[in-house]
């Protein structure tokens, strides 16, 4: 079991504790660290030296944010967890804008869904693929997920333009109401399709001593479902909160006097909602998940006496 998973096992079983650690791990300053610094931090954590508390905290931050917990490989900078907010925030804002045409809506949805697919794939549980390399099937799944989610994401804009829906109530529904469940569903869909091989091939499960017991499809299914729920909560809340705040703002005298304030207020509130929800969504489920032995496949139940086993959920 990788040291990252050992950390989450001892420090990540409480929801509030997980939020505390994610707020530290999501610090974008860690993106400036070189590969050499990351490797040095990992060596510090597994070495025999006795570093001070500050060095240990910095080393854990680099390890948890920059290294894959299954392969031990350093993650691409753009797909590390601290990069999610600065990269995804403008994409989310662009995808939720009330565009005048279908083409700009399609463009922003394509960028958002492409980045989401790359992030989901990079931070998946990699034990379902022994070679840790993208197969043709995985590539097709990623392309299919991006294509379908992009097309589905522009449905509100397409409906408004194609059928000339100008009724104010219909416009409010298409621009403020429908995007909320749509954003949540597409975020969950992206996770499920991109990580579909974990359903089919299964993922590695560990006993209480950290020893690998075997590969379980049921654990893989649980890991993907939990991640899909957390991503739906992230994107759904990020889409809902700004719409609600804008609705309240438009009822005030301030917006009547300064109507140009509405657009920047929407952008800022979207970025803030995403930033506040990010550590919450990452913390909804433990990074090192648990599953009862009786829920596993029959052949795995006979390989251990532990009643509860562990698996890496992915991100």
pLDDT at 126 over 70: yes
Percent of the chain at pLDDT > 70 equals 97
Question: Helix axis angle, 84-96 relative to 217-249, nearest 10°?
Answer: 60
The verdict on pTM exceeding 0.85 is yes
Q: Hey, what are 56's tokens?
A: 């240990």
- Cβ neighbors of 183 (< 8 A, separation 6 or more) are 95, 96, 153, 235, 236, 238, 239
Write down the mean pLDDT value for the chain: 89
Q: What is the mean pLDDT of residues 286-311?
A: 88
Confidence of residue 233 (pLDDT cuts 50, 70, 90): very high
What pLDDT does residue 131 have?
64
What pLDDT does residue 255 have?
72
Select the more confidently predicted residue: 258 or 93: 93
Spatial distance between the Cα atoms of 72 and 80, rounded to a whole number of angstroms? 14
pLDDT at 165 over 70: no
CB 45 within 8 A of CB 63: yes
CA 272 to chain centre: 17
Domain ranges of the chain: 3-312
Percent of the chain at pLDDT > 90 equals 59
Q: What is the mean pLDDT of residues 251-266?
A: 80
Q: What is the chain's length?
A: 315
pLDDT at 168 over 80: no
Spatial distance between the Cα atoms of 198 and 128, rounded to a whole number of angstroms? 6
- Render pLDDT for 27-39 as a digit per residue (tens, 0 to 9): 999 999 999 999 9
CB 92 within 8 A of CB 108: no
Residue-wise DSSP of 272-289 = HHHHHHHHHHHHSS-SEE
What pLDDT does residue 146 have?
94
β-strands 288-292, 203-206: how paired?
Answer: unpaired
- Render pLDDT for 177-225 as a digit per residue (tens, 0 to 9): 888 999 999 999 999 999 999 988 899 999 888 888 899 999 999 999 9
């Amino acid at each position: 079991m990788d040291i990252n998973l050992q950390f989450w096992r001892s420090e990540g079983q409480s929801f509030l504790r997980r939020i505390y650690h994610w707020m530290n791990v999501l610090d974008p300053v860690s993106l400036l660290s070189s590969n050499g610094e990351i490797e040095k931090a990992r060596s510090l954590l597994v070495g025999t030296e006795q570093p001070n508390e500050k060095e240990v905290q910095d080393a854990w931050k680099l390890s948890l944010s920059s290294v894959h917990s299954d392969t031990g490989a350093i993650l691409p900078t753009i797909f590390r967890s601290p990069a999610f907010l600065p990269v995804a925030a403008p994409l989310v804002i662009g995808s939720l804008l009330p565009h005048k045409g279908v083409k700009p809506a399609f463009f922003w949805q394509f960028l958002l869904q492409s980045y989401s697919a790359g992030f989901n794939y990079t931070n998946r549980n990699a034990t379902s693929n022994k070679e840790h390399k993208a197969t043709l099937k995985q590539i097709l799944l990623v392309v299919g997920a991006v294509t379908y989610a992009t097309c589905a994401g522009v449905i509100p804009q397409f409906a408004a333009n194609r059928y000339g829906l100008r009724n104010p109530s219909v416009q409010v529904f298409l621009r403020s109401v429908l995007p909320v469940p749509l954003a949540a569903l597409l975020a969950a869909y992206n996770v499920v399709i991109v990580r579909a091989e974990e359903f089919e091939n299964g993922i590695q499960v560990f006993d209480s001593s950290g020893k690998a017991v075997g590969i379980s499809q049921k654990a893989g299914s649980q890991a993907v479902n939990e991640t899909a729920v957390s991503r739906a909560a992230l994107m759904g809340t990020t889409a809902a909160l700004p719409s609600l705040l804008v609705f309240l703002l438009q009822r005030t005298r301030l917006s009547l006097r300064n109507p140009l304030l509405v657009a920047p207020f929407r952008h800022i509130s979207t970025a803030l909602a995403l930033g506040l929800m990010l550590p919450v969504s990452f913390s909804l489920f433990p990074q090192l998940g648990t599953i009862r032995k009786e829920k596993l496949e029959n052949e795995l139940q006979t390989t251990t006496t532990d009643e509860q086993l562990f698996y890496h959920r992915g991100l």
